[in-house]
Amino acid sequence: MTTPSTLDDFFPRTPSATGHIRLGIVVGGSLSQGLDVKLDVGATPGNIIETMAVGRYVVIEGATGRKFFSIVTDIALDNTNPDLPKTPPDPDDSFASEIYGSVLSFGRLQVSPMLLVEKDENKPKPVKTVPAHFSKVFNATPEDVDTIFGAEDELHWHIGEPLDMQGVKVNLDLQKFVERSSGVFGKSGTGKSFITRTILLGIIRARAAVNLIFDMHNDYGWEVIDEHKKRFRGLRQLFSDGRVQVITLDPDTSRHRGSKVDHVLQIGLNQIEPEDVDMLSGILGLSEVQVGALYYISRKLKQRNKNWIAELLDENSTEINEIEDSEMVQKGTLRAIQRKFELFRRFGFLTPSASDEAVDYVFNALNRGTNIVLEFGVYGNTLAAYVLVANFLTRRIHRKYVEQKNKAAGKGGDEPLPLVITIEEAHKFLDPEIAQHTIFGNIARELRKYNVTLLIVDQRPSGIDEEVMSQIGTRVTCLLDNEADIKAVFSGVSGAGQLREVLARLDTQQQALILGHAVPMPVVVKTRDYDEALYAAVGFADEAAAREKRKKDKAALYGEG
């Protein structure tokens, strides 16, 4: 008889007939704090503790045949003998180490149950209980993931793979994603724009909603260039059927970048209202007195059919001098406003006078189902320009949506198409001090009342009003290392304490924790590569590459050149 040399000789390392590999058994815990799982010893390769990772899926088989879908939230080493740390085995004696490990020491997981599937059913539902003591814990299989997230189809968009499950697809429910405002969060350099672009591709492909994208850094339109100078196709390239249009504030930059532009946007100074400038108070350093003066100046000059901003920018304006002489606005206040408004002179997209053509163009395009990317060019480097234009357009587009929605309610027309507005640097629009009074705060709280929602992209979620954050339906969160930001993304989320450790362990790039309305349970994914396979998934065909391939095939067939 051969003497066994390792525990491999005692335990077969093979999965079950269903593909599940047993990891261990439940030995304690609670629904609120998570379950304690004692790892088996040596039974399968998956039981080696070093192969475990927070964020990994496991399935617990209850005593009644129920399946509890759970996520690993912590990993620990444990033992049955308190003297073991003081008298460990010789590390060079592998057999002795395994024997000790089979009796005295073991690995322990903390897992959080998220969903429950009853015996002989396939529909998951929220967990309201826990499995019994000594319930078996297995790795999750691709079939388990499909049961939870659904198979990929028109409205279920492949966003990434679960950790350690290569080739298995996690799908976003796009219909639910656009029903409420959503957010993509993460520190700088974690790939927020790539993830956002991938989500937008799914929405556009499925026609789940129409999109208005305020493209601050030229990351979404025709072509994208990353920090390594690598080029990627933008939304306009990938949808050459007219579903996406690029509008620019800076045609020179767009031309130099080789972007195909469908329209140049200009805003008349005569169109700007004090409410459009109010949001700039923090950026321009306007005091409450100065903001109040804007409303007074605007009202007085409009009564005289004057362009109030043009008058403020005119140092020799007799109208401004009259207001100053009337002492209704203090001289120091007026001159301070004029100095701060000098910034507007640098915005080439501002013209002395214009009609509502720009707003009508955008609204009509959206109403036809055309997605709009608004490129800022060099003006994206100036936060004041970005906030001014985004606020200006959103206020007016939202107003038109409200009008059309109300007409539809009175059977006076069709409802507007669902609209998703994408904004970057979202905390500048949703700061606690202003969110209650801005159009963006209103949209977030309306929960799609008028068919309009937000997709906010931000690296500082702690700067966003708590009430607004609580209304964010789906949160896609890359790595964050600021405690206040981590706390903010879990605002209003049950079981947040157990998920904090999962978020803290994400890789610096191409990993995200997704939770909320568009996924049935929290999931950590390696996000989908933004590459040719993704391009093909949205129906893009590279004609130049196809021609080159046909040429090579012909040459090979006929022995040419």
φ, ψ (nearest 5 deg) of residue 486: -60, -45
Q: How far apart are CA 455 and CA 436, in angstroms?
A: 18
Per-residue pLDDT of the chain (561 residues; tens, 9 = 90+): 444 444 344 334 445 545 678 899 999 999 989 999 999 865 444 457 888 888 889 999 998 889 999 999 999 988 888 878 777 888 787 777 777 766 778 889 999 999 999 988 888 899 999 999 999 999 898 888 888 888 888 899 999 999 878 888 999 999 999 999 999 999 998 999 999 999 999 999 999 999 999 999 989 999 888 877 889 999 999 998 999 999 999 999 999 988 889 999 999 999 999 999 988 988 999 999 999 999 998 998 888 888 899 988 888 888 888 887 787 888 788 889 989 999 999 999 999 887 778 899 999 999 999 999 999 999 999 999 999 999 999 999 999 999 999 999 888 778 889 999 999 999 989 988 888 888 999 999 887 889 999 999 999 999 999 989 989 999 999 999 899 999 999 987 777 777 888 898 899 989 999 999 999 999 999 999 999 999 999 998 765 555 555 566 666 666 665
Total Cβ atoms within 10 A of residue 428: 24
Find, among 537, 421, 491, 540, the residue nearest to 159 by Cα: 537
φ, ψ (nearest 5 deg) of residue 340: -70, -30
Total Cβ atoms within 10 A of residue 450: 20
Cα radius of gyration (the chain): 29
Cα end-to-end span (Å), the chain: 69
Per-residue pLDDT at 547: 55
Q: What is the 3-state secondary structure (H, E, C) of 214-243?
A: EECCCCCCCEEECCCCCEEECHHHHCCCCC
Tell me which residue has tokens 């704090």.
33
Tell me which residue has tokens 């690995």.
107
Find, among 514, 386, 405, the residue nearest to 452 by Cα: 405
Read out DSSP for 501-552? HHHHT--SSSEEEEEETTSSS-EEEEEPP-SHHHHHHTT---HHHHHHHHHH
Side chain identity at residue 366, one-letter code: L
**Cα-based angle 449, 454, 457 (whole degrees, multiple of 5):** 165
> Can you say whether residue 457 is alpha, beta or left, with left for phi > 0 and alpha for psi between -120 and 50 degrees?
beta
